[in-house]
């Protein structure tokens, strides 16, 4: 009886081949753009204390309510596979006393995240994000820079049909009064709302703007808008962000109904969408979170950042996928007599070639010599070395020319020929 074939869990996938190459190209672009703007790489653990996300992302959000992979470890602690990167970065900022460094502290990451969502194209249970967070300043120039960097990254990666939606959620104090007004509006037309939205009037009324339920959409058309009720200070901040984006020629659309699925946002929020994506149109998004560090036990520290989904970037465009680099040398083993001698010499040659900085591979699948030369071709090798019990023959894979030489001079000769070719 045959065993059932093992498969990756639903909503997860393997990364290999062309796709792995494309991802490396995205990482290289992100690194070049972000490091040139002063962002340092950070990697946080895959799992954190559950409380970190409950406190920051928010108990009433979908992420915390139903999408977290939470488990209890051997000592009874509740841990959660990270569903997002901002809270862990803020935790690390506090833990490492980064507020003592010159501000702002700018950090970027490219990591995998976990959400128990309904899996479909562009929406997975383990997915990858590239993200950037800048902590320690509330200067609107930092907001504009952050948005501009994501705009540039997505543009350079070939994301098509991009649209940037921008809004401001103001400060939590101002939002308090607005929430009450919105709740009253929702309650006055409760019967028209979806069950989901009705159940969240108290805990998370703003998410009603995200609903696609026709009754709810109609109610939200008449809803009061937060953007019209910002304090003078918040409005001035938002106006400066806009003016700087205009100066940087980043096109955007003001969308007063933009709310994000995480509770920590204050003031600026934004989202890039691509019509090339279909239902899951969000390529990347973010915003300000001026209260988050303090909420996690740190000093008062404003912050702004974003994250973009790697799989969605790949779906929205065609990032350049460089071909894997061709080999300089393929080492063939031609064993005629006693098993082993040619192999040992070939293996030594392989390492000498690599030590000299060459891209080299050796036959390790037991092919006959003709099969080995075919494999050298398939791997794009410029030269092959055929090592037998006594001598080594260097073969030019382009013109087929061959010359025999002592194994001690092969690498030297190869380097000389490659230099003349370049
Ligand atoms: P988010 O909007 O939840 O924000 O996620 C950011 C991006 O991650 C989305 O725009 C999308 O491209 C991708 N993404 C989210 N969920 C999935 C999924 N299930 N499958 C595939 N891709 C997905 C955050 O995570 C915030 N931490 C962003 C941020 C950083 N805000 C401030 N700083």
What is residue 114's predicted lDDT score, i.e. its pLDDT? 98
Ligand 1: residues within 6 Å at CB? 84-86, 115, 117, 123-124, 127, 129, 131, 133, 261-262, 282-287, 305-309, 311-312
Structure token pair of residue 24: 């490396």
CB within 8 A of 217, min separation 6: which ones? 211
Tell me the best of 89, 129, 280 to mutate to test the pocket of ligand 1, counting ligand atoms within 8 Å of each CB and taking the most. 129
What is residue 340's predicted lDDT score, i.e. its pLDDT? 72
For 280, phi then psi, to 5°, come to -90, 75
Q: Rounded CA gap, 22 and 84, in Å?
A: 23
Q: Measured at the alpha carbon of residue 65, what is the angle toward residues 223 and 136, in degrees to the nearest 5?
A: 75
Report the separation in Å between the CA atom of 159 and the middle of ligand 1, taken as the mean of its atom positions: 16
Q: Rounded CA gap, 253 and 255, in Å?
A: 6
The closest-lying atom of ligand 1 relative to the alpha carbon of residue 286 is: 31
Pairing of strands 282-288, 383-387: unpaired
CB within 8 A of 88, min separation 6: which ones? 44, 45, 48, 52, 82
Residue stretches of the chain with pLDDT short of 50: none
What is residue 2's predicted lDDT score, i.e. its pLDDT? 62
What is residue 281's predicted lDDT score, i.e. its pLDDT? 84
Pick from 138, 125, 146: nearest CA to 10? 125
Q: Are 335 and 343 in contact (CB under 8 A)?
A: yes
**Half-sphere exposure at residue 212, Cβ-oriented, CA atoms within 13 angstroms:** 1
For 394, phi then psi, to 5°, come to -95, 125
In the 3-class helix/strand/coil scheme, how is the chain assigned residue by residue?
CCCCCCCCCCCCCCCCHHHHHHHHHHHHHHHHHHHHCCCEECCCCCEEEHHHHHHHCCCCCHHHHHHCCEEECCCCCEEEECCCCHHHHHHHHHHCCHHHCCCCEEEEEEEEEECCCCCECCECCEEEEEEEEEECCCCHHHHHHHHHHHHHHHHHCCCCCEEEEEEECCCHHHHHHHHHHHHHHHHHCHHHCCHHHHCCCCCCHHHHHHCCCHHHHHHHHCCCCHHHHCCHHHHHHHHHHHHHHHHCCCCCEECCCCCCCCCCCEEEEEEEEEHHHCCCCEEEEEEECCCHHHHCCCCCCCEEEEEEEHHHHHHHCCCCCCCCCCCCEEEEECCCCCCCHHHHHHHHHHHHHHHCCCCEEECCCCCCHHHHHHHHHHCCCCEEEEECCCCEEEEECCCCCEEEECHHHHHHHHHHHHHHHC
Report the separation in Å between the CA atom of 84 and the middle of ligand 1, taken as the mean of its atom positions: 7
Closest CA to ligand 1's atom 20: 123
For 108, phi then psi, to 5°, come to -130, 155
Q: Are 389 and 337 in contact (CB under 8 A)?
A: yes
What is residue 223's predicted lDDT score, i.e. its pLDDT? 95
What is residue 335's predicted lDDT score, i.e. its pLDDT? 86
Pairing of strands 253-254, 162-168: parallel
Tell me the best of 121, 309, 317 to mutate to test the pocket of ligand 1, counting ligand atoms within 8 Å of each CB and taking the most. 309
């Amino acid at each position: 009886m045959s065993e059932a074939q093992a498969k990756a869990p639903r909503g997860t996938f393997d990364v290999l081949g062309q796709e792995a190459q494309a991802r490396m190209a995205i990482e290289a672009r992100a690194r070049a753009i972000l490091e040139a703007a002063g962002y340092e790489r950070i990697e946080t653990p895959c799992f954190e204390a559950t409380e970190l996300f409950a406190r920051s992302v928010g108990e009433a959000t979908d992420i915390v309510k139903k999408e977290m992979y939470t488990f209890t470890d051997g000592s009874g602690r509740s841990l959660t596979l990270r569903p997002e990167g901002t809270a862990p970065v803020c935790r690390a900022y506090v833990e490492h006393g980064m507020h003592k460094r010159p501000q702002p502290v700018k950090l970027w990451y490219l990591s995998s995240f976990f959400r128990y969502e309904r899996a479909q194209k562009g929406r997975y249970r383990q997915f990858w994000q590239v993200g950037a967070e800048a902590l320690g300043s509330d200067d609107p120039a930092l907001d504009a820079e952050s948005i501009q960097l994501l705009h540039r990254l997505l543009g350079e990666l070939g994301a098509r049909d991009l649209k940037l939606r921008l809004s401001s959620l103001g400060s939590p104090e101002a939002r308090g009064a607005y929430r009450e007004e919105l709740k009253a509006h929702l309650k006055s037309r409760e019967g028209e709302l979806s069950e989901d939205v009705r159940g969240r009037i108290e805990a998370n009324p703003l998410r009603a703007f995200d609903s696609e339920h026709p009754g709810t959409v109609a109610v939200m058309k008449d809803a009061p808008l937060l953007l019209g009720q910002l304090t003078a200070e918040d409005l001035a901040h938002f106006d400066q962000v806009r003016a700087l984006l205009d100066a940087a020629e980043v096109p955007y659309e003001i969308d007063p109904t933009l709310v994000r699925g995480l509770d920590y946002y204050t003031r600026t929020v934004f989202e890039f969408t691509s019509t090339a994506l279909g239902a899951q149109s969000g390529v990347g998004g973010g915003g300000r979170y001026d209260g988050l560090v303090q909420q996690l036990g740190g000093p008062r520290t404003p912050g702004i950042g974003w994250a973009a989904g790697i799989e969605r970037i790949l779906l929205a465009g065609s990032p350049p996928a460089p071909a894997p680099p061709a080999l300089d040398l393929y080492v063939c083993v031609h064993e005629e007599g006693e098993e082993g001698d040619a192999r040992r010499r070939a293996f030594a040659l392989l390492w000498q070639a690599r030590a000299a900085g060459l891209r080299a591979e050796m036959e390790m699948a037991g092919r006959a010599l003709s099969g080995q030369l075919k494999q050298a071709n398939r791997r794009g090798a410029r030269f092959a070395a055929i090592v037998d019990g006594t001598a080594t023959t260097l073969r030019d894979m382009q013109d087929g020319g061959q010359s025999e030489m002592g194994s001690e001079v092969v690498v030297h000769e190869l380097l000389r020929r490659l230099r003349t070719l370049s």
